[in-house]
Amino acid sequence: MVSNYELIMLLVLFLRCSIHDSFVEASEVPAMFVFGDSIVDTGNNNFINSIAKANYYPYGCDSISGLPTGRFCNGRTVVDFMVAGEMLGIPAPPPFADPATTGDRLSGGVSYASAASGILEDTGKHYIERFTLSQQVVNFQTTLDQLRILMTPEDLTKYLANSFTVMVFGSNDYINNYLMPSMYPSSFRYSPPDFANLLLDRYARQIVALHSAGLRKFYLAGVPPLGCIPSQLAIGQPPPGKCVDYVNQILGTFNEGLRSLAISLNRDHPGAVFVYGNIYGVVGDMIYNPSKYGLSVVSRGCCGSGRNQGQLTCMPFQPPCYNRNSHLFWDAYHTTEAANYVIAQRAYSGPPSDCFPMNIQQMASIKI
Is residue 193 pLDDT above 90, yes or no?
Answer: yes
Is residue 101 pLDDT above 80, yes or no?
Answer: yes
Q: Dihedral, CA atoms, 351, 355, 357, 361, nearest 10 degrees?
A: -80
Distance CA 67, CA 55 (A): 9
What is the per-residue pLDDT for 28?
A: 80
What is the per-residue pLDDT for 1?
A: 52
CA distances from 149 to 51, 106, 143, 144, 242 (A): 35, 12, 10, 9, 54
What is the per-residue pLDDT for 188?
A: 98
Give mean pLDDT, residues 298-317.
97
Q: Under DSSP, is residue 323 helix (H, G, I), strand (E, B) or coil?
A: coil
Distance CA 99, CA 350 (A): 36
- Known active-site residue 331: yes
- Known active-site residue 201: no
Beta-ladder partners of 218: 165, 274
Q: Which of 37, 38, 62, 111 is catalytic?
A: 38
Q: Strand order of the sheet with strand 217-221? A: 32-36, 164-168, 217-221, 273-277, 355-356
Instruction: Supply the DSSP symbol for 318.
Output: P
In 27-124, which residue ranges form alpha helices assigned H by DSSP? 78-82
Residues 16-62 pLDDT 10s: 444 343 333 445 899 999 999 999 999 999 999 999 999 999 999 99
Distance CA 5, CA 11 (A): 10
DSSP 253-281: HHHHHHHHHHHHHHHH-TT-EEEEE-HHH
Write out the H or E segment, with its range, that includes residue 217.
strand 217-221
In 33-88, which residue ranges form alpha helices assigned H by DSSP? 78-82
Q: Which of 62, 80, 331, 354 is catalytic?
A: 331
Q: Which of 37, 62, 299, 334 is catalytic?
A: 334
Which of 201, 190, 185 minimizes the C-alpha distance to 122?
185
b/e per residue, 225-261, with b = 16+ CB within 10 A? bbbbbbbbbbbbebeeeebbeebbebbebbbebbbeb
| Residues 114/45, Cβ–Cβ less than 8 Å | yes
Give mean pLDDT, residues 305-312.
96
- Band of pLDDT at residue 91, cut at 50, 70 and 90: very high
Is residue 3 pLDDT above 80, yes or no?
Answer: no
- Known active-site residue 171: no
Residues 148-169 pLDDT 10s: 999 999 999 999 999 999 999 9
The type of residue at 148 is R
Is residue 298 pLDDT above 70, yes or no?
Answer: yes
User: Which pTM does this prediction carry?
Assistant: 0.94
